[in-house]
Amino acid sequence: MTNPSGEPDLARILAESPTVAVLGAHVDEVRAGFYVPDYLHGVGYRVLPVNPRFVGRILWNVPVSARLADLDEPIDLVDVFRRADALEAHVPELLAMRPRPRVVWFQSGIRNDGAATALRGAGVQVVQDRCTLAEHRRLGLGAPRRPPLADH
């Protein structure tokens, strides 16, 4: 999912990622871990919140999971709201997902080249230091496309 320049094709990624797990989802409406996935939910994405601090809470009509491993459906994109220095510790968890997500997206201000290299080496597309909300708006996208079930 890259364009001819080798950069991630953000429009295609967002259009073809209807199910988003949010690693570091938050309950505070002023935190990016809340308002970014809230926006995505509002424009038609299925948003699955992950944060052990908020297990038992309901966000975007879904109970918050403690870990990515607790999710029981295929994930197209993992939207990451964690400190950059914590990302390498999440790589094994991300790579253990079955099926693996097609994309792991580190939000604005989050960059970890070591984690990105490990994920890319395992065939996972990585976007670093970009906001899914801002990119979705900038690209003028609507609701994500639901791929046929055979593609999962």
Confidence of residue 147 (pLDDT cuts 50, 70, 90): low
The residues facing 32 across adjacent strands are: none
Contact 135/18 with Cβ under 8 angstroms?
no
Average pLDDT over every residue of 30-58: 96
The residues facing 50 across adjacent strands are: 23, 65
Q: What is the pTM of this model?
A: 0.90
Domains, in order of start, for the chain: 1-84+94-110 (3.40.50.720)
What is the number of helices (H) and of strands (E) in the chain?
Answer: 5, 7
24 is written with which tokens? Answer: 């570091």
pLDDT of residue 152: 43
pLDDT of residue 4: 47
Tokens 């052990």 appear where?
Answer: 52
pLDDT per residue over 89-128, tens digit each? 999 999 999 999 999 999 999 999 999 999 999 999 999 9
Asked if residue 18 has pLDDT above 90, the reply is yes
DSSP 8-state symbol, 149:
G
CA–CA gap between residue 120 and residue 126 (Å, rounded) = 7
pLDDT of residue 148: 55
